[in-house]
Structure formats: structure tokens, C-alpha cells
Amino acid sequence: MKQIITLLIGIISCLLITSCENDIQGLYSGEHAIYFSEYNSTADSVTYSFIGKNREQDTVFLNVRLLGNMLTTPAKVVLRVVPEKTTAISGSHFEAVKPSYQFGLNTFDYKLPIILKKHADLNSGAFVLALEIVESEDLLVAFKEKSSVRIRFSNIFMKPSIWDATLAPVFGIYSKTKHAICMDIMGRPFPETLVAFNVERNLWRNFGWQCNAYFKDNIVMDNDLVPPARILPWF
């Protein structure tokens, strides 16, 4: 009886594996597809500020991931600007989006460059560049909910989009006053993406302790609050 049960389990397992393999083959069917790996419909934005950066333009890299096997020939990645969600002006606030970008060989990821410009308009508030992956002659859209991203950029202090999920455990509750003082202590701006944070994770944790020590030893009032209140240490 045990042998029969074992045999049945083996047969069922094989059928399930074969079914899954067929589903995967049917999903890819030899056609490649791409998506934004770091963004989705509920977390679709990256924040960038020129504050603390001595440059007139900068590049934000959006990670585009390939679904399926690696490419055998380079493929075109096509983006479109979503006008109803965009406040930034092409040519003034950012370099015009190219007709296509090239996804290379031997990789599942492509860092797609978007060039932002330090225009005087950015001193008064944030502008938004909304982008969407569209189907090209080479690549399909893998997931609709991961095909869009918004870049919010300015030349003022802005809360990084990764603050609540990634930076808050290291730097506590966000405020513009804390932002400015921490940048002075660190001598550099905060990371704007999870990838940038992870590359120097230990360094950012050390910065967190240094900043915490400063607010522990000094009484700093946050005038953005009503009424103003002291910025308390978070460790």
C-alpha cells in the first residue's frame, strides 16, 4: 500500500511540474517582456533634489527588468511621457525622452537614464515627470501595474520616497529641518533609491548614529511644526 501511495504521489508531482512548465512556456512563448522592478501602482515614484549637489544636471537611472530568457540581440525599450500626470517641461526641466533605448545582452537589468536639469523653476517647488513603458517591436510590457513611474524633482528639501520604509529606522521621523542638519553632518545628500541605500548600507547606519548623537546633545527646534517642537533623538 505504501508503495502504491508513493507511486501516486510521484505521478501527481510530475503532472504538476509538467503543468507549471507548460504554463511558464505559454507565458513567455519566446517573446520578451519588461517592467520597472522597483516601482508599482502603489509605490510609483522616485524623489530627486538638486539640494547639496553642485551640478546643473543629473541622471536618474530607472531599473528596467527583463522577463524571460536573456536577449540574443539588443532590443528597443520605448517610453512615453504621460502628459496628464506630468508638470515638468521637456527641454527646460529634463532632456527629451529618446524615441528608444537599447536593452543589452547578457543581463536581466537595464539602467535607463533620464536626465534632469537644474532650472530656476525648481527653486519654488517640485515638478513631476511621469513615464510609462510601452510595447515596442522587440519587447512587450510584462506587468501593467509595474509599467509606470513618476520622477518628482526640485531644488528644495523634499522627503525622499524611500524615507518611511528604509530611512526612518535609521534617521527617525522626517522633517525638513532634520534633513538639512543631517546633510551638513554627513556632507552628502540622502540616497534617493533603495539600491543606492543598500550599496552603502553600513555607512548610512553609521550616519544615522552620528545624526542621532547630534540631536541628543543639542536642542534643535523644528519650526515646520505647529507649534514648534524639539527634534528628539530616535535611538
Residue in the block written with cell 525622452: 97
Domain C-terminal end among 108, 134, 154: 154
Residue in the block written with cell 529618446: 98
Q: What average pLDDT does the structure give for the chain?
A: 88
Q: What is the pLDDT of residue 42?
A: 77
Report how many domains make up the chain: 2
Residue 68 backbone class (left: φ over 0; alpha: ψ -120 to 50; beta: rest): left
Q: What is the pLDDT of residue 19?
A: 42
Residues 41 and 116 in one domain: yes
Cα 212 to Cα 227: distance, rounded to the nearest angstrom: 22
Residues 149 and 37 in one domain: yes
Residue in the block written with cell 534633513: 179
Q: Is the confidence at residue 191, as pLDDT, over 60?
A: yes
C-alpha cell at 61: 537611472
Q: What is the pLDDT of residue 29?
A: 55
The whole domain housing 106 covers: 33-154
Q: DSSP letter string over 35-79?
A: EETT--SSS-EEEEE-TT---SEEEEEEEEEEESSPPSS-EEEEE
Residues 74 and 117 in one domain: yes
CATH number for 77:
2.60.40.2030
Q: Is the confidence at residue 20, as pLDDT, over 50?
A: no
Pair 77, 64: CB distance under 8 Å: yes
